[in-house]
Amino acid sequence: MAKQKKKAASAQRGQIITLISIVVVLLVVAALILVKLNKSSSSKGTSSTVAPSDVVAATTGVPESAFAAIGYDSALPKPSSIKETSSLTKSGLPEVLYMGADYCPYCAAQRWAIVSALSRFGSFQKLGATSSGANDVYPNTQTFSFYGSSYSSKYIAFEGVEMQTNIASNGSYTTLQTPTTAQNNLLTTWDKPPYTPTADGIPFVDFANKYVLGGASYNPGLLAGLSLQTIAGSLAQPTSAPAKAIIGTANIITATVCKIDNNQPSNVCNLGYIQQIEKALK
């Protein structure tokens, strides 16, 4: 009897030791996975940083009075009409495709206007915060990143592709997102004169294969040395230089979106200055 109890106790101890060993192995595996994920996340650059809520609110909620005060600035570039036979759509909605990169200061400038404009048609979730390359022209320009974000609207679809980080590597920058073959074809087909100022440059925006806009619409130097909060806060002040450039560009983007989505919503697309811009689009 005593021997049987001893054997049972020994077996129980063995089971406990086995369970402890399994738990230790699982903890080690979990730790290794976390390390790998952290390394993977850091290799993606700063684009995974969540944009501050006050900056997002100020940029996506620009008052109509500010949009109207700036209205149509005819000196800013307008999208070019393209003769594409197939429409660019997603889930049955006209799609706005943006292609850029975190390091790019011209993309940094243009994103402010894109976020402000498209917020009149829907809403962004999980916008990132980043800055342009430290060793590029207009270094460290503060901006959003579309990497990791999403957009919802009943009028349009939006796809933001950030192709590279702002982390320098071997004379270039590390890869962030790889465009699809179709997206890359649009870039190489339409991102060149006479449709855009330069060949295969970024930022590039395709409006449902009806219009394209290439390059920054204004000089990124206007944002030099300004924080995210300062830029976002200036948007409600129509007399400020950043607001004139960003909101002026946002109004042109807004009018272009209205052109591709049958002028919806009407409370935005029927505004006098938006209609004026629409008429100016070829």
Cα distances (Å, whole numbers) of residue 51 to 16, 210, 221: 48, 31, 21
18-62: per-residue pLDDT in tens?
444 543 334 433 433 333 333 333 334 444 589 999 999 999 999
Average pLDDT over residues 63-88: 94
Contact present, 79 and 252 (Cβ < 8 Å): yes
d(CA 76, CA 218): 7
Same structural domain for residues 95 and 164?
A: yes
Same domain as 114, residue 39: no
Vertex 201: Cα angle to 199 and 204 (nearest 5): 115
Shared domain for 83 and 112, answered yes or no, is yes
Residues 65 and 34 occupy one common structural domain: no
144 shares its domain with 218: yes
Q: The domain containing residue 128 runs over which residues?
A: 45-280
State the DSSP H helix or E strand holding residue 167, giving kind and residue range, or none if neither: strand 164-169
Report phi then psi at 211, rounded to 5.
Answer: -140, 150
For 240-255, what is the mean pLDDT? 98
Q: What is the pLDDT of residue 9?
A: 46
The total number of structural domains that make up the chain: 2
Residue 34: CB atoms within 10 Å: 10
Does one domain contain both 23 and 110?
no
Whether 39 and 50 share a structural domain:
no
Summarize pLDDT for 9-27 with one digit per residue, the tens: 455 555 544 444 543 334 4
pLDDT at 200: 65
Share of the chain above pLDDT 70, in %: 82
Same domain, 134 and 263: yes
